[in-house]
Amino acid sequence: MSGRMEWVLLAYRLPRRPSTPRITLWRKLRRLGVVQVLDGLVALPADAATREQLEWLAEEVGEAGGQGEVWLARMASAAQERALAARMAAAVTAEYEQVIAAATAAASQPEGARRRTVSRLRRDLHQIGRRDFFPPAGKDTARIAVEDLAATLPAPATPRPAAGPAQTVSTTDAPERQEAQP
Amino acid sequence: MRWATRAGVHVDRAACAWLIRRCLDPDPRFVFVDDPDDVPADATAFDMRGVELSHHGGDCSFETILRRYDLDDPVLWDIARIVHEADLADDRYHAPEAVGLDVLCRGLSMTADDQGVLAVTGPLFDGLYEHRRRALLVGRNPA
């Protein structure tokens, strides 16, 4: 990373009670992959999407009777920035390690359970990927572990019956499709 | 009527613009601004912080417009499920279509300006509406 990047920060204060808005907010922040700078101050690398997400959460904080402000910021030193990025990478590394462990453990499952595990882990990888701003080495290892598990499954039978493509136009579709005819 | 929203249109704003034209205003003019302070006085703002037609209580702006204007068409609510997940990805709904819609809109915003994005996403949402309408009728994804 050459030069320093822009960060988007959410500074928020929420009443202690009721606790539900705090928990909801924290869940959403976790899903976005924020790094906590201080109590009530979280950060993400700034882009159009992260900035927008934090702005909506600031709005939710306001609706819950709190106060939320969104800041754009640059860190004063490259070393601090590397440290922050390393904390974020460590957090997603832990998540990738869980995926790897689950994929390894599933190898001995019966076929149906293995198939469900593969779908779940692919979904998990997609979710983690959304908050993986500084991809660690574990990312590829996790992806390969899931695809290796998928490779142990026999190819799924096609769910559709043997009807040819020409027969798939149902009667309800017919009127709209006639414009192509002479 | 004039309608204002944030520049750099993504899926929720594109969906709202389509919904406005379809259900609220057959001849809308859309203005794109960088700051809420730049919204023209005669324009109705949507999908911006601090305005009525925006995110509220965990809803995205598309859902807010459906609620505020009492639009109870189940097909529109089915589209709302997809738009919500494409915009917020908070797993409130099961919407496997959302990932694709999000990618398509992000890609479009890289090659077209805001008016250009709406020119393409309009017909895209027309098609999505028809697809979801038939899906609700037959109870499965139509071919």
Question: Would you state the pLDDT for residue A179?
Answer: 40
pTM of the model: 0.81
Look at residue B35 in the predicted model and tell me its pLDDT: 87
pLDDT tens-digit series, residues A140-155: 999 999 999 999 998 7
The pLDDT of residue A176 = 42
CA of B30 vs chain A CAs: smallest distance (Å): 20
pLDDT of residue B55: 94
Strands (E), B37-101: 43-45
Q: What is the 3-state secondary structure (H, E, C) of chain B?
A: CEEEEECCCCHHHHHHHHHHHHHHCCCCEEEEECCHHHCCCCEEEECCCCCCECCECCECHHHHHHHHCCCCCHHHHHHHHHHHHHHHCCCCCCCCHHHHHHHHHHHHHHHCCHHHHHHHHHHHHHHHHHHHHHHHHHCCCCC
A56 to B55: CB separation less than 8 angstroms, yes or no? yes
Asked if B50 has any chain A CB less than 8 Å from its own CB, the reply is yes
* pLDDT less than 70: residues of chain B: none
pLDDT(A80) > 70? yes
Write out pLDDT tens, residues A111-165.
999 999 999 999 999 999 999 999 999 999 999 999 999 999 987 655 555 444 4
Q: Give me the pLDDT at residue A161, please.
A: 52
Strands A67-73 and B43-45, sheet pairing: unpaired
Mean pLDDT of chain A: 86
Give the pairing type, strands B29-33 and A35-38: unpaired
Show residues of chain B in contact with A170, CB under 8 Å: 138, 142-143
